[in-house]
Amino acid sequence: MKKQYCIANWKMNKSFHDCEEFVTKLNNEFIYNGSEMVICPSFIHLNRMKFLTKNIKIDIGSQTISENKNGAYTGEISAEMLTDINIKYSIIGHSERRHLFNEKDIAIRNKIFNAARNQIKPILCIGETLKERKSNQTNEVLKMQIKIACETANFIDDNIIIAYEPVWAIGTGVAADLDTISKTHEQIRAFLPTFLKKSENISILYGGSVNNDNCRDIINLNDVDGFLIGGAALDAQMFLNIYNKMN
Ligand code: PGA
């Protein structure tokens, strides 16, 4: 069965104290409504966030993962290490990783493989740049990103989440319009079976300037199974409002 997700990507934000404040709010007000809530803080807060949310039905995920299994890779965090502290989700291939850290499709493929091998559900981010959209390359770009990311992990079945995040809508305050989201999600849904087994169970999330005002219209679109949220997920009340509008 396809699930709905509301996923927070905190990026490089929040102190230890901020995490505690955020979770205090959730502990008081979060009511599970059938959609899964996942928060992805920085690596150093993962363990603490696991502990703080232990009494509520919220999952904690990482924002990336090493493409290597283990060894001499200073500063890296492996899938095995995340499994060790019971992390079940990892964002992989976020556009900031691709563009600011030059993460290539092949690296993303290795990350997906390592995550899936360690029972971590990858949240695979795909998305086109404005230039690619304007030159009608969106579908080809998205297809290629999924194909390369998933081709070695043919054991994934439906153990993956796809997050469609047009690069031009991330952090800009201007989400893609409803027609664009609807058509693009429909296309992704249509080509997913070519690359992934049991694709009918795979959730396709939208990300890019989701907020309290636009979330209800977006979630009501066919083929949108939730959100990956940056800016609006930094505020506990705003994130809760969005989550509550999802049922
Ligand atoms: P945004 O970020 O909601 O701030 O646009 C989304 C993301 O980067 O995943």
Token pair 């907020």: residue = 211
Which among 99, 228, 235, 242 is the best mutation to test ligand 1's pocket, defined by most ligand atoms within 8 Å of the CB? 228
| Spatial separation of the C-alpha atoms in residues 95 and 59, rounded to whole Å | 22
Q: Are 217 and 16 in contact (CB under 8 A)?
A: no
Atom 8 of ligand 1 has which residue's CA nearest to it?
Answer: 230
C-alpha–C-alpha distance, residues 131 and 74, integer Å: 35
Predicted local confidence at residue 156, as pLDDT: 84
Q: Which residues contact 120 (CB under 8 A, 6 or more apart)?
A: 65, 79, 82, 83, 87, 88, 89, 90
**pLDDT tens digits, one per residue of 48-98:** 999 999 999 999 999 999 999 999 999 999 999 999 999 999 999 999 999
Please, what sign has the CA dihedral across residues 29, 30, 34, 37? positive
221-231 pLDDT, tens digit per residue, is 999 999 999 99
Which pLDDT score, from 0 to 100, does residue 175 have?
Answer: 97
Q: How far is the CA of 65 from the centre of ligand 1 (A)?
A: 19
What Å distances lie between residue 83 and 19, 77, 89, 113, 172, CA to CA? 21, 11, 10, 14, 34
Residue 27 and residue 55 in contact, taking contact as beta carbons nearer than 8 Å: yes
Query: Could you tell me if 79 and 43 are in contact, meaning their C-beta atoms sit under 8 angstroms apart?
Result: no
What's the pLDDT at 154?
73
**pLDDT 10s per residue in the chain (247 long)?**
789 999 999 999 999 999 999 999 999 999 999 999 999 999 999 999 999 999 999 999 999 999 999 999 999 999 999 999 999 999 999 999 999 999 999 999 999 999 999 999 999 999 999 999 999 999 999 999 999 998 887 778 889 999 999 999 999 999 999 999 999 999 999 999 999 888 999 999 999 999 999 999 999 999 999 999 999 999 999 999 999 999 7
Catalytically annotated residues: 94, 165
From the CA of 233, give the closest atom in ligand 1.
Answer: 3
Helices and strands per DSSP (H, E), number in the chain: 10, 8
Strand partners of residue 90: 62, 122
**Cα of 210 to ligand 1 centre, how many Å?**
7
- For residues 238 and 209, the answer to whether their CB atoms sit within 8 Å is no
